[in-house]
Amino acid sequence: MTTVRTPADWPATEEEARAVQDELRTRVVLDEPGPPPGTGHVTGVDVAYDDERDIVAAAAVVLDAASLDVVAEATAVGRVSFPYVPGLLAFREIPTVLAALGALPCPPGLVVCDGYGLAHPRRFGLASHLGVLTGLPVIGVAKNPFAFTYDEPGARRGSSSPLLAGEEEVGRAVRTRDGVKPVFVSVGHRVSLGNACAHVLALTPRYRLPETTRRADSLCRRALREATVQESTTRRSPTSR
């Protein structure tokens, strides 16, 4: 497990964070298809918080895209690096997610975030932010549509419908299980929307959520439990007084 310090130049205010978004958003690449589904590596990233202790844990889990077997995994723990502000959640997570990705022993390939990319009020969610900073192809797969609208896709697995901000398509609602609520897919960086949806279907052979998200969620929760136990033990230890 890697311990993370918040970068010295990290935004401290909402205004600073929005200025960073405005600058980095211009670097998002939308004209590349991305890697074909079922090839190479695909990596899930996720975070878990303990706000009372001001701790965030991130996990990165690399899967073989063809078999969905785990190839490698890494975790990182640090302090929450930004207050909770809707639309700026990436600033709470990015330092630890970058550290977890950096601790992997192999290339991550396509990265799948539990969150949004272009489906974001400022068109620059975690998946886009992470993609621009790393240069990796990244997609966002969210559990709910945020503030956007969509028509229910068909009931069968593989059905989809546009996720809309007014008349602008910012992602797609994708049915990954027959008759089960869809997930909400958006492009982050260096992947087309159609390819992102194909990856999501390849990553959901049994459950609603991608295997990348399921594995990363479990791992970051475990890392958070270990970190909170360690901190509690340190606080109680006489040698720490």
Say if 241 falls within a structural domain: no
Q: How many domains does the chain have?
A: 1
Residue 240 lies inside a defined structural domain of this protein: no
- Say whether 114 counts as a known binding-site residue: yes
Residues above pLDDT 70, as percent of the chain? 95
| CATH label of the domain that carries residue 154 | 3.30.2170.10
Residue 241 has pLDDT above 50, yes or no: no
Helices 90-102 + 126-134 axis angle, to 10: 40
Task: List CB contacts of 52: < 8 A, sequence separation 6 or more.
Answer: none
The domain of 175 spans 2-235
Q: Is 9 annotated as a binding residue?
A: no
pLDDT, position 115: 93
Q: pLDDT tens-digit profile of 195-216?
A: 999 999 999 999 999 999 999 9
> What pLDDT, on a 0 to 100 scale, did the predictor assign at position 239?
52
Q: b vs e for 105-117, b when ≥16 Cβ sit within 10 Å of the residue's Cβ?
A: eeebbbbbbbbbb
81-98 burial string, b = 16+ CB within 10 Å, else e? bbeeeebbbbbbbbbbbb
Alpha helices in 169-210 (DSSP H): 193-202
Read off the pLDDT of residues 65-116 as tens digits, 9 standing for 90 and up: 999 999 999 999 999 989 999 999 999 999 999 999 999 999 999 999 999 9
Is the model's pLDDT at 233 over the cut of 80?
no
In a domain, 70, yes or no: yes
Question: Does some domain include residue 231?
Answer: yes
